[in-house]
Amino acid sequence: MSGWREALATGRLGAGWMIVAAFCFAAMGVFVKLGKPYFSPAELLFYRTLIGFAFVSALVGARRQRVLSDNWGAHLKRSFTGYAAIVCLFYAITALPLATAVTLNYTSTLFFALICVIWLRERLSGRVACALLIGFAGIVTLLRPTFDSQTWFAALVGLLSGFFAGASIFQVRELGQMGEPEWRTVWWFTGVSTVLSLVWLLFHRFSPITSANVWILAGLGASATAGQLAMTRAYKEGRKFLAASFGYFTVVFSALMGWVLWGDALSVASMVAMGAVVLSGLIAARRA
C-alpha cells in the first residue's frame, strides 16, 4: 500500500497512468452524453479537438518545436481516419448505453490485427485467429439485441468507429516507423480534426453556448486532453502490453458511470459479450 502512495505522490505510476487515462476517457464519454441536449455530435467534436489543439499548440510553441513534416501526406491520412473514428464514436455515445458504445470502439485492436494480416501480409497466427473468433462472437452477442430496436444503426456506427480507430492505430505505427514524434502526430490530428469539424459546422449550425452548458464543453476538453496526456505517459514510462491491458478499464469505468448516472443496467449476456471483446483485444495486442 505504501508503494502505491509513494507512486501517487511522486507521479511515477508507469503503466498505471493508463488507468488514469481510462477514467478520463470514460469521463469524456459522460460529457458527450451530457452535451447531447445542447450540441450535435459534430459540435462536441469541434470543441473537443479545438481545446486539445490549443493546448498542444501552446506546448509546441513554448518548446519551439517544428510542426511541418516531409511526411505530411501520412499525417493527413492518419488525421482523416482518426477523425472518422471519433465522429462515429461520439454519435454512438449519444445513441447507445455508454459502455456499449465504448466497447464497440475498443474493437479497434481486433481491426488493427486484421489490417496487419491483410495489408502487411503477416501470418495469421493461432493467437490472432483465436482473438478474432472470440471478438466476433462477442460483437455478435453485443449487437444482437440492438437489431430488435431502433438503435441498430447507432450500433453499426459504433462498430465502424472501432474499424477506423484500428486503421488509425496502424497509421500511427507507420508514422512512428518514419521517425515522427508523438507530439507532432497529435498536433496534426487535433488541427486537421478541428478544421474538418469547423467546415462541417459552417454548413450545419452552431448551438448557443450558455452558462448552463459551458461547463460541459470545459469538462469534455479537459477530460479528453488529460486522458491523452496520461495515455502518452503510460506508454512512455510503463510496459506497452501492460499499458494496453489497463486501457480496457475504460470499458469498466464507462459501465459504472452509465449505471450510476443513467441507470444503464447491463444484462448477463451483455456483460459476457463485453468481456469477450476485452479478452479478444488483450490476446490480439500480444500477437506474435
CA 215 → CA 23, 24, 32, 35, 193, distances in Å? 18, 16, 12, 10, 22
- Which residues have C-beta within 8 Å of that of residue 109, sequence separation ≥ 6? 166, 169, 244, 280, 281, 284, 285
Full domain range(s) for residue 276: 15-285
For residue 4, tell me if it sits in a domain. no
Among all chains, which residue has been given the C-alpha cell 502490453? 241
For residue 220, tell me if it sits in a domain. yes
Cα(250)–Cα(193) distance, rounded to whole angstroms?
Answer: 23
Query: b vs e for 37-71, b when ≥16 Cβ sit within 10 Å of the residue's Cβ?
Result: ebbbbbbbbbbbbbbbbebbeeebeeeeeeeebeb
For residue 169, tell me if it sits in a domain. yes
Give me the number of domains the chain comprises: 1
For residue 165, tell me if it sits in a domain. yes
pLDDT tens across the length of the chain (288 residues) = 445 455 544 456 677 888 898 899 999 999 999 999 999 888 999 999 999 899 889 988 998 888 888 888 998 999 999 999 999 999 999 989 898 899 899 888 788 888 888 887 777 677 777 877 887 788 777 776 665 567 889 989 999 999 999 898 888 888 888 888 878 888 899 999 999 999 988 887 789 999 999 999 999 999 998 888 888 788 777 776 667 778 888 888 998 899 999 988 777 888 888 888 888 877 776 654
For residue 5, tell me if it sits in a domain. no
For residue 8, tell me if it sits in a domain. no
For residue 263, tell me if it sits in a domain. yes
For residue 123, tell me if it sits in a domain. yes
